[in-house]
Amino acid sequence: MLTEFRRYPITYTLILANSIIYIFMMLLSGNVIDIDIQTSVDMGALYAPYMILDNQWWRLITSIFLHGGMTHLLMNMFSLYLIGRGAENYFSKSAYLSLYLFAGFLGSFASLFMHDDSVGLGASGAIFGLFGALAGFFLAYKEQIEEHSKAFMKQFAMIIGINIIIGLAIPEVDVSAHVGGLVIGFIGGFILSKKPRYIWIYSLIMLALMFISSRVLISQYYSFLV
Domain count within the chain: 1
Identify the burial level of 13 via C-beta atoms within 10 angstroms of its C-beta, where 0-12 means exposed, 13-18 middle and 19 or more buried: exposed
Residue stretches of the chain with pLDDT short of 70? 1, 144-173, 224-226
Residues listed for the chain:
226
Domain of 186, CATH number, reads 1.20.1540.10
Say what the pTM is.
Answer: 0.89
Query: What's the pLDDT at 142?
Result: 75
Query: What's the pLDDT at 99?
Result: 97
Segments forming the whole domain that contains residue 168: 2-225
Query: What's the pLDDT at 169?
Result: 55
Query: What's the pLDDT at 224?
Result: 65
Catalytically active residues are 124, 178
pLDDT in tens, 155-195: 666 666 666 665 555 555 677 888 899 999 999 999 999 89
